[in-house]
Amino acid sequence: MILKRLSNYIETHQYVAESRLLTTFHISREGVAPMLAILMKRGHIQKIVNSRGDKLSAQIFYTWQKDKVIPLVTFV
């Protein structure tokens, strides 16, 4: 059930920060990572990691792709 809700949320918003998912669904970073890995394997969700240099922590975003794609993590 939570996987479907996460998928629908990302599909609706198209581009979502991981921090937004954590606050919206009240789950921890350790809890959301495996769930999103499952959704990424299904082929519509991709992960983008913005490293932001050495002094700032990385920002993680998830995007929805209309067509199924190969699971992909992009580092910026």
Contact predicate 15/63, CB 8 Å: yes
Nearest to 61 by CA among 7, 8, 10, 17: 17
Give every CB contact of residue 25 below 8 A, 6+ residues apart in sequence: 2, 5, 6, 9, 32
Total tally of structural domains belonging to the chain: 1
Q: Can you give the CATH number for the domain in which 68 is found?
A: 1.10.10
The domain containing residue 9 runs over which residues?
2-75
Q: At what angle do helices 18-25 and 29-42 cross, to 10 degrees?
A: 110
Give the model confidence (pLDDT) of 35-67 as tens digits: 999 999 988 899 999 888 888 888 999 999 888
At residue 20, the pLDDT reads 94
Cα(first)–Cα(last) distance of the chain, in Å?
32
